[in-house]
């Protein structure tokens, strides 16, 4: 057999496998509405055109629901909350300071599932988001001057994407392992030093 014949046979086999798996998955996905809750650890990276200290690991959770158009495509809307991410205390001649950042987001997008297996289903999802962010600087002056804090808030838009793996149980519950990234753009856009915040998260969750 020629190379083209082998390629055509492999492609036909792959399509047949995908079609049969999708049909089996379709039987499980008759309910059009979905709901998901997950939580995990996040790492915040902020870029501002200047040197920015590293932020410690933070926590996050999200809740989102959606509508299945087909066994492999759904729309989603949801909410995500990030706990305070803080830097290590930085010292200089005047004293020391610590920076904290926290945010919440609401998001909307699409998800694509790849039903190549009856129970283990990879997927990707992504879309746009709206954020509310808060930056706080705590200042300590080593008893020379009273310590204090300064806080600034902003809101704006950004985008997100995620890729993960769903384990489909016999009780119609889904267990989820996911890597996710949310990008908060143009924070403090009107200032002399606008920021971009990028959250990378590892999430565990469940859904129906």
Classified as helix, coil or strand, 22 is: helix
Q: Tell me the per-residue pLDDT of 109-133, one tens digit each, with 9 for 90 and over.
A: 999 999 888 889 999 999 999 999 9
Say if CB 122 and CB 87 are below 8 A apart.
Answer: no
Q: Tell me the per-residue pLDDT of 11-67, one tens digit each, with 9 for 90 and over.
A: 444 444 444 444 444 444 557 888 999 999 999 999 877 767 789 999 999 999 999
Tokens representing 56 are: 């410690």
DSSP 148-191: EEEEEEEEEEEEEEEEEEEEE-TTS-EEEEEEEEEEEEEETTTS
Neighbours of 205 (CB within 10 A): 20
The model's confidence at residue 206, banded by pLDDT at 50, 70 and 90, is very high
Q: State the pLDDT at residue 154.
A: 96
Rounded to the nearest angstrom, the gap between the alpha carbon of residue 130 and the centroid of all alpha carbons in its chain is: 13
The model's confidence at residue 197, banded by pLDDT at 50, 70 and 90, is very high
Per CATH, the architecture of 3-207 is what?
Beta Barrel (2.40)
Mean pLDDT of all residues belonging to the chain: 84
Q: Tell me the per-residue pLDDT of 59-97, one tens digit each, with 9 for 90 and over.
A: 999 999 999 999 899 999 999 999 999 988 777 666 777
Phi/psi-derived region of residue 186, left when phi > 0, alpha when psi is between -120 and 50, beta in every other case: left
Say if CB 67 and CB 33 are below 8 A apart.
Answer: yes
- Separation CA 47–CA 22 (nearest Å): 42
Tokens representing 10 are: 């492999």
Tokens representing 120 are: 């283990």
pTM: 0.80
């Amino acid at each position: 057999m020629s190379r083209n014949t082998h390629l055509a046979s492999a492609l036909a086999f792959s399509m047949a496998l995908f079609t049969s798996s999708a049909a089996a998955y379709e039987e499980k996905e008759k309910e059009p509405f979905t709901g998901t809750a997950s939580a995990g650890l996040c790492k915040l990276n902020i870029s501002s055109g200047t040197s920015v200290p590293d932020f410690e690991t933070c926590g996050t959770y999200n809740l989102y629901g959606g509508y299945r158009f087909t066994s492999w495509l759904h729309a989603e809307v949801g909410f995500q909350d990030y706990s305070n991410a803080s830097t290590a205390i930085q010292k200089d001649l005047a004293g020391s300071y610590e920076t904290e950042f926290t945010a919440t987001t609401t998001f909307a997008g699409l998800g694509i599932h790849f039903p190549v297996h009856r129970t283990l289903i990879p997927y990707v999802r992504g879309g746009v988001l709206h954020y509310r962010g808060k930056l706080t600087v705590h200042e300590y002056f080593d008893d020379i001057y009273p310590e204090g804090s300064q806080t600034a808030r902003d809101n704006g838009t950004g985008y997100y994407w995620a890729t993960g793996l769903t384990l489909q149980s016999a009780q119609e519950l889904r267990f989820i392992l996911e890597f996710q990234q949310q990008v908060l753009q143009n924070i403090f856009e009107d200032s002399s030093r606008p920021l971009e915040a990028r959250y990378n998260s590892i999430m565990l969750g469940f859904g129906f």
